[in-house]
Amino acid sequence: MDTRNPDETEQPGTAVNPDRRDFLNALAGAAFAVAAVGSIAVTVEYLSPNVLFEPPTNFRIGPPENFALDSVTYLPEQQVYIVREPAGFTVISAICTHLGCITQWSEDINMIACPCHGSRFRKNGSVEHGPAPSPLPHFLIGLTSDGNLTVDKLTIVPPTQVFKA
Amino acid sequence: MSASLQSTLKGFCNNRVWRSIFRRAPARTNRTRSIAIFGNLFLHALPVKVREKSLRVRATYYLGSFSFFLFVVLTLTGIMLMFYYHPAAPKAYNDMKDLRFVVSEGIFLRNLHRLAAQAMVLAVFWHMFHVFYRGGYKPPHEFNWVIGVVLLLLTLFLSYTGYLLPWDQLAFWAITVGTNIISYIPILGKPTRFLLLGGHEIGENALLRFFVLHCVILPLAMIVLIALHFWRIQKDGGLTIRESDERK
């Protein structure tokens, strides 16, 4: 059914007015689409928190003397292992690369073990057996001018990189 | 019934208040019964007449109705539990313990909610298998089958979001593992996990988000889709009747 105003169709066959209607419809449709995409974008933005009350990713762990030679120290708040070997220090993530459970250093088997699905890692973070798909990442460790070790969990370093303190 | 009781009842129904609520006289013919269903806000989505064969226990085992009944039980017990539950760490865990050991009838309501939730997952799966083996996904029921699949997913999401709320070790590690599975989705996985948890790890934000999903967003989606699901059964011409049913 043609619901157009008779005034608009005074000159049949020119097809000027239907074009204008199509154009305005497309314009309105585009405006609604932009508004819809914008609403979704600001909703996602609103739902992404800007401030998080989580443990810092960059932290001090005290002077090197605190860690005995050939020891593995677990820091519960930061969820990392500080490994000190004759070659130097390495810092390894304590979060299992399989599904995110907290692993445990086991002195008896000289291994890092995950309680959830049985993954095992060696002291250098490499996988002894699965289901973990990848080794535990190593984090950057350094020394401040006043003699404190610092760890940066946002910087992942190759497992061969050892910090000589 | 004695004559005096009947006249009392008649007087009860025959006054301004009653007639202002119920717009029609009692339905006594097929036509007025149909009109009563059509004209009722709550019943108009349901069929006025059904085939006798679709009322047989074997036709459905009432699995859909049973799933819906469990959803109603879960809604009612869930609302009751919300009166004593704060979605905040570590209060949530203490509230759960209080519900079990301090609040009158708390342990009954909590266990009813938990068991009904587990039963609902079973009932929805069973309903789905039954519909599948009867060919209920075939035309003209394809769209209602798709709604049913979404309802199954909503049931699982409700089950999953409810799992975190007791805020105990089981809840914490189950959600740790579950949300890490989400982060394996290519590209979108990690942002989805971040939005779902409101952070990088499971904390207060995650508990509150799961609470809102569990108590508001998912149940509302569920109610809308359940209504659509019931209405489509009628619009698609009733339940699937197999040829083997017809021959009997």
> Is residue B68 in a domain?
yes
Residue A28 has pLDDT above 70, yes or no: yes
Do A52 and B173 count as a contact with CB atoms less than 8 A apart? no
Residue B111 has pLDDT above 50, yes or no: yes
B98 and B221 belong to one structural domain: yes
How sure is the predictor about A156, in pLDDT bands with cuts at 50, 70 and 90?
A: confident
Do A48 and B194 count as a contact with CB atoms less than 8 A apart? yes
Q: Which domain holds residue B238?
A: 58-247
Do B200 and A54 count as a contact with CB atoms less than 8 A apart? yes
Q: What is the mean pLDDT of residues B133-140?
A: 88
Element (H, E) at A139: strand A138-143
Strand partners, A85: A88
d(C-alpha B167, C-alpha B95), whole Å? 10
Residue A17 has pLDDT above 80, yes or no: no
d(C-alpha A93, C-alpha B49), whole Å? 65
B134 and B230 belong to one structural domain: yes
Do A47 and B177 count as a contact with CB atoms less than 8 A apart? no
Residues of A in contact with B179 (CB under 8 A): 100
User: Tens digit of pLDDT for each residue in B8-33?
Assistant: 887 777 788 888 888 777 888 999 98
Mutate to test the interface with B, among A44, A52, A116 (most CBs of B within 10 A): A52
Where is pLDDT greater, at B88 or A11?
B88
Which pLDDT does position A31 carry in this prediction? 97
Residue A124 has pLDDT above 80, yes or no: yes
When divided into structural domains, chain B yields a total of 2
B110 and B39 belong to one structural domain: no
B150 and B210 belong to one structural domain: yes
Indicate the SS3 state at residue A95: strand
B121 and B231 belong to one structural domain: yes
> Is residue B34 in a domain?
yes
> Is residue B104 in a domain?
yes
Which pLDDT does position A33 carry in this prediction? 97
Do B205 and A49 count as a contact with CB atoms less than 8 A apart? yes
B44 and B90 belong to one structural domain: no
CA A65 to chain B, closest CA, distance in angstroms equals: 31
Which pLDDT does position A16 carry in this prediction? 58
Q: In the sheet that A127-129 helps form, which strands lie side by side, from edge to edge?
A: A104-106, A111-113, A120-121, A127-129
> Is residue B8 in a domain?
no
Do B177 and A48 count as a contact with CB atoms less than 8 A apart? no
What value does the CA radius of gyration of chain B take, rounded to a whole number of Å? 23
User: Tens digit of pLDDT for each residue in B176-207?
Assistant: 999 999 999 999 999 999 999 999 889 999 99
Residue B208 has pLDDT above 60, yes or no: yes
Do B199 and A49 count as a contact with CB atoms less than 8 A apart? yes
Q: What is the mean pLDDT of residues A69-95?
A: 87
Which pLDDT does position A84 carry in this prediction? 87
CA A102 to chain B, closest CA, distance in angstroms equals: 9
Which pLDDT does position B248 carry in this prediction? 47
B90 and B210 belong to one structural domain: yes
A77 touches chain B (CB under 8 A): no
Residues of A in contact with B180 (CB under 8 A): 98-100
B25 and B101 belong to one structural domain: no
Complex ipTM more than 0.90, yes or no: no
Which pLDDT does position A6 carry in this prediction? 55
Query: Contact A52/B200 with Cβ under 8 angstroms?
Result: yes
Do B201 and A44 count as a contact with CB atoms less than 8 A apart? no
Which residue from A49, A54, A100 is facing B180, i.e. has the nearest CB?
A100
Average pLDDT of the residues of chain B:
90
> Is residue B132 in a domain?
yes
B115 and B173 belong to one structural domain: yes
B189 touches chain A (CB under 8 A): no
- The CATH code that applies to domain A58-157 is 2.102.10.10
Which pLDDT does position A10 carry in this prediction? 53
B195 touches chain A (CB under 8 A): yes
d(C-alpha A120, C-alpha B239), whole Å? 54
For A118: left if phi > 0, alpha if psi spans -120 to 50, otherwise beta; the answer is left
d(C-alpha A128, C-alpha A114), whole Å? 11
B223 and B145 belong to one structural domain: yes
| Cα torsion A38, A44, A49, A50: sign | negative
Task: Give the residue from B83, B96, B120 showing the smallest Cα distance to B207.
Answer: B96
Structural domain spans, chain A: 6-47, 58-157
Indicate the SS3 state at residue A90: strand
Least confident span in A12-16, B42-46, B203-207: A12-16
Query: Contact B221/B152 with Cβ under 8 angstroms?
Result: no
Residue B48 has pLDDT above 90, yes or no: no
In chain B, the N- to C-terminal Cα span, in Å, equals: 41
B99 and B39 belong to one structural domain: no
> Is residue B11 in a domain?
no
Which residue from B180, B194, B201 is facing A99, i.e. has the nearest CB?
B180
Residues of A in contact with B203 (CB under 8 A): 53-54
> Is residue B86 in a domain?
yes
B238 touches chain A (CB under 8 A): no
Do B176 and A99 count as a contact with CB atoms less than 8 A apart? yes
Q: What is the mean pLDDT of residues A11-15?
A: 54
B109 and B186 belong to one structural domain: yes
